Amino acid sequence: MSKEYLATLKLIQNSIKENLSPPPDLTVSEWADKFRVLPSETSAEPGQWDTSRAPYQREIMNAITDPRYEDIVIMSSAQVGKSEILLNGLGYFIDMEPYPIMMLQPTEQAAKNFSKERLAPMFRACPSLRNKVSNSKSRDGENTILQKSFPGGFVALAGANAPSGLASRPIRVLLADEIDRFPASAGGEGDPLSLAEKRTTTFYNRKKIKVSTPTDKGTSRIEKEFESSTKERYHLPCPSCGHEQPLKWAQIHFESVTHACIECGSMHTQFEWKNQEGRWIAEIPDALKRGFHLNELLSPWRKWEEIIVAFKSALKNGKEELKVFINTSLGEVWEEEGKEVNEHELMNRQEDYEAEVPDGVNILTAAIDVQDDRFEIEVMGWGKSKESWGIEYHIIPGDLKRPQVWDELSEYLSRTWSKRDGKRFGIVGAFMDSGGHFTQEVYKFTRKHELKRVHAIKGASAKKGENVPLINGISRTKVVRNYLISLGVNDGKNRVLSNLQQTDFGPNYCHFPKGRGYHEQYFNGLTAERLETRYERGIPYNVWVKIRARNEPFDLRVYNLACLEFLNPNLELEYFQNEAKKKKKKRRVRAR
């Protein structure tokens, strides 16, 4: 921390003391009700803010200005207004108690997006903020997308993956958003959340607000923070007996769309429950941190009918979607039953297909792994709800410096497979690894086969613990002259593992044929990696670790899943067409 910066900071603090009148005695919720205006471009309900629209937000916002607490923790679902709570807190500090502030997002790109899509509209819409924070496009060099200056302070926006944004910035207020998406380490500097918190140590009246939807049990940052807090839940009195209780998913009755009282058993609708006056009740009232838990059942913007439909859909579509529901609708951590699968159990699931392509398959994709002396290819069939069938695992041996081997690959990708009714299927798309010793040759091959949707891929680099989506980016450069798809391989491996753990035919289940290249060596490769929990300076994160040398089958499963997601076909199409034909036939029979 430079002497010049400290001197500037001291001047700011003296300016506040000498030139600004003491801030009015307003809480954050009172400030929001008086000054906050919701812009039409970011809100479904634009206009003057009204805390009574979601009364559970009042106590959370007021805790931000409570001098007894330094840390505020919000573990919540989506659709409950947690981002607006952060924005109201930020607006309050800019308007009422100007000091250096940091808004920390999972990535620097997310910070830029938040600045442009949420902060800028708020500043434009709120008269009390409009004249204090100038537009980043103005000639004021102190205001950029990632830094906004105002009388008495500034707000710096930073990404948890960018250590330069976390260093040498003394701040009084830290607003950390979606902390479960933070990497375990910011470069080689250590835990980004801890780095940001250290920036507040020079202020006696520091405030740290940490917000996130949770992820996996054991590695969730927000769960760890919440467990060491007051652990408060919003309680509503039963409309029949008055017993106070939080709204819980286990008490929801699907048929009547009601919530049963845990005490008297009376069932009431969401409107009856939410018309009651609620209050926050702490499980650990003496904790030093103030912690709040929220789920979508409280939200005025989500109907219980919609949440029930979302749950049924997630339950039908497999574990991965169920996990998303648990995290984002209930605001709870996901507890994995098992983190690996056994190769022998998968081998025992092999089936005798009735044809080259089983009846449930609607499309075929392919994935190609490029080695120095061979191509390894897996062709997969996909059906309704992403149920999958291994069609063939094929190896083309040879020296890849010879064009004949590439010609053989081209011929293989052009072949077709048939169903028992004679219908023939070709490959609708393929992903090809470009990360080996033949990168330029892969680019040339995919460029030649672009019309067949054969595309080059590369794994996206990710910091420890950072969540990179399966389709991380799509580019088209002069060098590639075709699509180059960047893959979040860890996300893909997590999803493949989840699919392999499905034990019932249906959504996401993986079928394997007998023969066709699916031998013991294949299943050893498919289970060649294991998900383990590691620690980076005390921060847990998950990492994939090889337990066998050859893992090509596992990689090819990831590539095929990514290819399916990239193509985004309507896997229900053939199913619904067949259902329509059946109904039409029944109508004809009835008409006779």
Q: Give 32-75 pLDDT, tens digit per residue.
A: 999 999 998 888 889 999 999 999 999 999 999 999 999 999 99
Give every CB contact of residue 400 below 8 A, 6+ residues apart in sequence. Answer: 370, 371, 372, 373, 374, 375, 406, 438, 441
CA dihedral 516, 521, 523, 529 (to 10 degrees): -140
With respect to residue 534, please indicate whether it lies within any of the assigned structural domains.
yes
Whether residue 127 lies inside any domain: the answer is: yes
Low-confidence ranges of the chain (pLDDT < 50): 1, 5-6, 9-23, 138-139, 575-577, 579-580, 582, 589, 592
Give the burial class of 282: count Cβ atoms within 10 A of its Cβ; 0-12 exposed, 13-18 middle, 19 or more buried. Answer: middle
Question: Does some domain include residue 498?
Answer: yes
Q: Tell me how far CA of residue 122 lies from CA of 59, 129, 579, in angstroms.
A: 22, 8, 49
Q: What is the pTM of this model?
A: 0.72
The answer to whether residues 223 and 347 belong to one domain is no
> Do 189 and 300 belong together in one domain?
yes
- Residue 99 belongs to domain with CATH number: 3.40.50.300
Give the burial string for 54-90 (b: 16+ CB within 10 Å, else e).
bbbbbbbbebbbeeebbbbbbbbbbbbbbebbbbbbb
In a shared domain, residues 299 and 447: no
Domains identified in the chain, total number: 2
Instruction: Give the domain extent around 543.
Output: 343-576
CB contact burial 190-224 (16+ within 10 A = b; e otherwise): bbbbebbbebbeebeebbbbbbbbbbbeebbbbbb
Determine the longest span between alpha carbons in the chain, in angstroms.
Answer: 93
Could you tell me if 482 and 351 lie in one domain?
A: yes
Do 416 and 541 fall within a single domain?
A: yes
Could you read off the pLDDT of 376-389 as tens digits, one per residue?
999 999 999 899 99
Residue 245 located in a structural domain: no
| 77 and 223 fall within a common domain | yes
**Do 291 and 347 lie in a common domain?**
no
What's 505's domain CATH number?
A: 3.30.420
Same domain assignment for residues 294 and 367: no
335 falls within a domain: no
Phi, psi of 18 (to 5 degrees): -90, -40
Residue 250 lies in a domain: no
295 plus 390 within the same structural domain: no
Same domain, yes or no: 299 and 413: no
Q: Same domain for 215 and 151?
A: yes
Residue 272 placed within a domain: no
Q: How far apart are CA 259 and CA 304, in angstroms?
A: 10
Q: 479-484: long-range contacts at Cβ-Cβ below 8 A with a sequence spacing of 24 or more?
A: 479/443, 480/443, 480/446, 480/447, 480/456, 481/443, 481/447, 482/443, 482/446, 482/447, 482/450, 482/455, 482/456, 483/446, 483/450, 483/455, 483/456, 484/434, 484/443, 484/455, 484/456, 484/457, 484/458
pLDDT for the residue 544:
85
**Together in a domain, 291 and 401:** no
Residue 539 lies in a domain: yes
